[in-house]
Structure 1
Amino acid sequence: MELEEFSLYCIVEGDTFTMPLAREEYILDVTTELHKNQQVFYLIFCRSVWHFPLRLDSQLYVEVVFNQIAPDYLEGLLLIMPGEQLDQDVIYDIAKMAALLHRAADMTHVPTMKETKFLLPKPALTVRDVKPAQWVNMVQSNWRDVEMLTTIQSKAQVLDILSKWPLFGSSFFAVKRVSDPKERSDHILALNRHGVHFIDLVTHETLTHYPFSEVISTRKVKSEDGTLFLDMKCGNLMQQRITRLQTDQAHEISRLIRQYITMEQRLQHR
């Protein structure tokens, strides 16, 4: 396991966003302060950058990564839907994973129609090509292949399937691209080992992409009214462009970009 790809996050109950603990912070210093303030908190260890392959031979690793990835998958963030349609191969993957997710939850019976609804990514329920009854039939037909697996084997197979999807290993952020004070467009920002991607809110197709080799710098800016922005300078020595993003997660986006760039530089010098 490459520990440099993992971060320890502290989630404080009531906070909208989570932030990783900095390397120079001591866990007990942070938790003692939260205890003093009588705040409820959780410590979560999860993968933050994704340069190295999955380690599906480790049960602990599979548990950690599965619990991190499953919510994004079920929310539909990993789906790319050109024209709001699903490719046939993706439909097959979704049906197989629904059966695996059912088994991963330690279920021993065939998924029912009511249960199937909660085993599919949310956008899959709205596509016109596949009716609810068809989803149920496909999921149930996959059940025979997975019902004898252990829960950890089921989780490992889900990760193995998803690892072949283009947006697997992405950290997702809701951002507004600010061209000028009057023009603001909503996007999802996806950071993964291939770089910075601005993706469409609905189809998740990439609209703009910058490899990390083209990310020159990031700078956090706070306006007089407290609005937080991130200025991202991208390009090369001849041509550069600054993209301003309005986001409450500017610190985390900037930190992750630095982490990826540092990782790339280390790999180049190995």
Structure 2
Amino acid sequence: MELRAMLAGRSSKRQLFLLPGGLERHLKIKTCTVALDVVEEICAEMALTRPEAFREYVIFVVTNRGQHVCPLSRCAYILDVASEMEPVDGGYMLWFRRVLWDQPLKFENELYVTMHYNQVLPDYLKGLFSSVPAGQPSEQQLQQVSKLALLQHRAKGHSHLPSVQEMQDYIPAQLYRSLAGSVWLRLLGQHRQQTQALSPHQARAQFLGLISALPMFGSSFFFVQSCSNATVPAPCILAVNQNGLNFLSTETHELMVKFSLKEIQSTRTQRPTASSSYPYVEIALGDVAAQRTMQLQLEQGLELCRVVAVHVENLLSAREKRLTLPPSEITLL
């Protein structure tokens, strides 16, 4: 395919990459351009120049109207991916997303802040970053949620207090239902003076700073239909992050069961059986001597395997770095 393209004088093309929130970047792709090159180019726009930062971002190919999401290997050739996808699904998309969150957040660069704000906002509004109490939220939680709501309003450039209808869009539904709309408006009013002078960029930066302290911030979330492990009540939500596999309650989002990254030996996808419409993911846990297998049934099986792989690779890379002696400490025998 590459030879035919080169003979026809087409050795490069403009390729669209989508960042969270519908932000678009058209990049010039050559026959030798791999996913890592694209990551580095977009990172440079966000004022990120260190290889440690590049490792945290991934290019995803999205097909079937967003139903199928697959992270690309860092060495995947973008033109090859495009050539394979175009005949199969002309509406395919290439997404740029952050998967690892080891590096501290930065708040100076506008594209960086906007991209990260847009990526985490939908998960925050689903209430996934922290547990939602069954009863009345604490005063501290109410204050934090109302301030975050006002920061979202300010991020849109609005300086007036939001209406009850607008306010509903800024507060996780489970929490919003715990109080009357008039009470929420009063709580928001308490933070108006602190947020009014902020620019939309500053409001997004402050929002990110506040939610980065929440327990499940920096996770990739998956809805699990069923699980073969008796200790994991399903259906449930799986949050994958640097601490491992965290199984959360679908109702309260409380942590029920956790497996560390060190316990994961391997992952693989399995095709759906005749009685099931969803594929399975098989995860081997434990150590080489005593392994146990856990089967998860979910839609985004391949995406889960790749995201887990990125986290495990990062863990092994960090461990390797710690075990490698610096040149000054190496003694020639």
The answer, yes or no, to whether TM exceeds 0.5 is yes
Q: Provide the residue aligned with 2:44 in structure 1.
A: none
Measure how far apart 1:238 and its partner are. 6.0
Separation of aligned partners in 1, 2:244 and 2:300: 18
| Aligned match for 1:178, one of 227, 237, 243 | 227
Separation of aligned partners in 1, 2:68 and 2:89: 19
Q: Provide the residue aligned with 2:40 in structure 1.
A: none
Sequence identity percentage? 29
Matched, 1:167 2:216: yes
Amino acid in structure 2 at the alignment position of 1:56: F
Unpaired runs of 5+ residues, structure 1, are none
Separation of aligned partners in 1, 2:310 and 2:294: 20
Secondary structure of the residue that 1:39 maps to in structure 2? coil
Secondary structure of the residue that 2:120 maps to in structure 1? helix
Q: Provide the residue aligned with 1:114 in structure 2.
A: 165
Amino acid in structure 2 at the alignment position of 1:27: I
Q: Provide the residue aligned with 1:79 in structure 2.
A: 130
Matched, 1:221 2:239: no
Amino acid in structure 2 at the alignment position of 1:168: F
Separation of aligned partners in 2, 1:122 and 1:252: 27
Q: Provide the residue aligned with 2:189 in structure 1.
A: 140
Matched, 1:29 2:29: no
Measure how far apart 1:37 and its partner are. 5.5
Separation of aligned partners in 2, 1:27 and 1:82: 45
Unpaired runs of 5+ residues, structure 2, are 1-47, 322-333
**Matched-pair contact (CA < 8 Å) for 2:59–2:96:** yes
Matched, 1:45 2:96: yes
Measure how far apart 1:118 and its partner are. 1.2
CA deviation profile, 1:133-177 (whole Å, cap 9, x unmatched): 111111122122111111111111111000000011111001133
**Matched-pair contact (CA < 8 Å) for 2:132–2:175:** no
Measure how far apart 1:89 and its partner are. 2.0
More relative contact order, 1 or 2 (CA 8 Å, 6+ apart): 1
| Aligned match for 1:259, one of 310, 319, 322 | 310
Measure how far apart 1:73 and its partner are. 0.9
Separation of aligned partners in 2, 1:219 and 1:60: 35
Separation of aligned partners in 1, 2:285 and 2:89: 43
Aligned pair in 2 of structure 1 residues 218, 10: CA closer, same or farther (>3 Å)? closer
Q: Provide the residue aligned with 2:34 in structure 1.
A: none
Separation of aligned partners in 1, 2:129 and 2:316: 27
Count the aligned residue pairs: 266
Q: Provide the residue aligned with 2:328 in structure 1.
A: none
